Amino acid sequence: MIGFIILAVLALGFALAVVVAKHPVHSALALVGHVVVLAVFYLLLKAEFLAAAQVIVYAGAIMILFLFVVTLLTAGKEDQDARESLPAQRGIAAFLAILGGALLAGTAVRVAGTPAAGRAPTGYGGLLDMGRLLWGPDFPYLALVALMLLTAALGVIVLNRPEPAGAPVKEGR
Is 37:7 a contact under the CB 8 Å cutoff? yes
Rounded to 5 degrees, φ, ψ at 142 are: -65, -45
Determine the pLDDT at residue 11. 92
- Domain range annotation of the chain: 1-73+125-158
Q: Shortest CA distance to 38 belongs to which of 51, 28, 53? A: 51
Beta carbons of 153 and 69 less than 8 angstroms apart:
yes
Q: What percent of the chain has pLDDT over 70?
A: 76
What average pLDDT does the chain have?
78
Of 28 and 115, the one with more pLDDT: 28
Residue 27 makes CB contacts below 8 A (sequence gap 6+) with 17, 18, 19, 21
Report the alpha-carbon distance of residue 46 to residue 29 in Å, rounded.
26
pLDDT at 81 exceeding the cut of 50: no
Mean pLDDT computed over 89-97: 82
Reply yes or no on domain 1-73+125-158 having CATH 3.40.50.720: no
CA angle centred on 72, ends 78 and 30, rounded to 5°: 80
Compute the distance between CA of residue 150 and CA of residue 1 in angstroms, rounded to an integer.
41
